[in-house]
Structure 1
């Protein structure tokens, strides 16, 4: 078993992750689930890599003020713009929802949008379904944080481990599961809510953070 510093050294040489696996406005927790699966990382190991001063069992809020963006860029090797959009902006007038909110059809595609955590967003712009916060099986809610337990349970209830979606799709699939019109609908809603912070789809990616 690799020690935490050995994990960081190993990932610095290259990680198994393809930015094409991401969708517009993908939340950081959704990105981390894919990254952990692709690199066979435990929740404790990934928490240590992205926030070494945080207790992995306690976790950290998914807001820009609480996460070191430059470190996140270095570990995930993703453009700063993508990661900035993946985190909640506490300066926005709308309050973030404290519980993990999801569209069950999006969850079946291995996707969660940062939009779903805005309290005044109540429906998925792609599937037009009401957003859920409670487990379909036991009715429990999962807090919207990233912790070792959350990372270890992608799209699953923390209480009973029931899957959030109607079905299962591999998080490692390199084939986009959503239709193009669904991705466009999500992107349009993102642009409406977040404006210029959202990069144009198909544009050249920004450089990685140093």
Structure 2
């Protein structure tokens, strides 16, 4: 049987860290208001050809990459995350929910299919009281259209390696096939403004527990 080329370069975790320390491919303009950490990591991993276990080791070295960790502020070391992603702390703080929030959160990855087609997931979509996307006015989904499975809302190697895909059948959760990496805004200026307004509205109510601003 012929050998196939490995999907990723075979590097030790410290070599991945050294490689990224020399410079990583990422542009803050690829992000949109209120973007979740999972969505940000999908773009970062795609742009830098990083396997999920390597990225998990870089951002949370004490966490088992296969088990993962809930993406809340108490579980993520922001200073380390800033060093790896080279993004402002305010942006990353906004991408995580506060574990102490009185508002119930959903354990499954919850998304707008049209937003997913643009490579976007809002951290606010995980709040159970959020029922519709503020841009597309569609109901938020958790189940795959093809196999009805739910993807857990955690940071793990398997989730990172399945950007906007179902963990069960690997089908896209979106209606489209837009690239995660783009040099132009994925949504219109009007849509981005709608996301910003919605974020500001929520941060003025129950999201202001140290959420910061970009």
Secondary structure class of the residue paired with 1:122: coil
Is 1:190–1:198's contact at 8 Å kept on the other side of the alignment?
no
Which string of whole-angstrom CA distances, capped at 9 and with x for unpartnered residues, describes residues 63-102 of structure 1? Answer: 0001111100000000000000000112222111100000
* 1:199 CA displacement: 2.8
2:160 is matched with: 151
Give the TM-score taking structure 1 as reference length. 0.93
1:205 is matched with: none
Are 1:58 and 2:72 matched, yes or no? no
1:33 is matched with: 42
Give the TM-score taking structure 2 as reference length. 0.91
2:100 is matched with: 91
* 1:198 CA displacement: 5.1
Are 1:103 and 2:112 matched, yes or no? yes
Give RMSD over aligned pairs.
1.1
* 1:187 CA displacement: 0.8
Report the number of matched residues: 200
Rg (Cα) greater in structure: 2
2:130 is matched with: 121
- For residue 76 of structure 2, the aligned residue among 62, 67, 77 is 67
- For residue 183 of structure 1, the aligned residue among 192, 195, 203 is 192
Runs of 4+ in 1 over 4 A off after TM superposition: none
